[in-house]
Amino acid sequence: MQLIKYPNDVLTQVAVEWDFENDSTAEETADQLIELMIASNGIGLAANQVGLLKRVFAIKLSGQEPIAMFNPRVVSESTTIVENEEGCLSFPNLWLEVKRPKQIESEYFDKHGNPCTITLSGIDCRCFLHELDHLNGVCFTKKISPLKLALARKKQQKRKYNG
């Protein structure tokens, strides 16, 4: 498993549902995603980012061991919107101020196919939504205006050359 970086087209493709009945690699996929996420110093990694168009991502929630979430979805979200900085392993050194709901309730399946429900806020909510966007073929660069993206890319270039 290898991290894919922008501008690879797989980052803009929509992932398909994980089929636990016909795909027995859930545990192996979960372990590999988590391992690569940790090795890359990330807190989230979607399957698209490794070229796998299946609805699963690894996430490191605050104060917990990393897990994989299969077929994740948002059940409800708060009407309060917060803007905060985000980065992405597929866009090295690019940091963007993105608006997202303050809190969500979500459902997913664990690597054994067990249904789970979780309420997330803060960085955990932001990370979940960022990774869910990946599964829907949406990169965080699409969440801001072209002008803000151009300014952020200039800063990205400076960081790239200043190490």
Q: Is 85 a catalytic residue?
A: no
Residues 6+ positions from 109 with CB-CB distance below 8 Å = 18, 20, 69, 70, 71, 115, 116
Question: Any idea which of 52-56, 70-74, 138-142, 159-163 has the lowest mean pLDDT?
Answer: 159-163
Per DSSP (E only), the strands in the chain are: 44-46, 56-59, 67-77, 81-88, 91-101, 103-109, 115-121
Total tally of structural domains belonging to the chain: 1
pLDDT for 158:
82
Catalytic residue among 35, 77, 86, 131: 131
Residue 163 has pLDDT above 60, yes or no: no
pLDDT for 22:
95
Residue 145 belongs to some domain of the structure: no
CA nearest neighbour of 129 among 145, 109, 106: 106
| The Cα angle at residue 52 between residues 49 and 57, in degrees rounded to 5 | 60
pLDDT for 162:
67
Q: Return the amino acid letter for 22.
A: N
* pLDDT > 90: percent of the chain: 94
pLDDT for 151:
92
Residue 155 belongs to some domain of the structure: no
pLDDT for 157:
86
Structure tokens at 18: 């994980």
Q: Return the amino acid letter for 84.
A: N
* pLDDT, tens digit (0-9, with 9 covering 90-100), for 53-83: 999 999 999 999 999 999 999 999 999 999 9
- CATH code where residue 17 lies: 3.90.45.10
DSSP 8-state class, residue 54:
B
- Say how far apart CA 140 and CA 87 lie, in whole Å: 8
The CA-atom distances, in angstroms, between 132 and each of 128, 140, 157 are 6, 11, 27
Residue 83 belongs to some domain of the structure: no
Q: Residue 59: give the domain boundaries.
A: 9-78+99-139
Stated length of the chain = 163
User: For 18, phi and psi rounded to 5 degrees?
Assistant: -75, 130
- Say how far apart CA 26 and CA 126 lie, in whole Å: 24
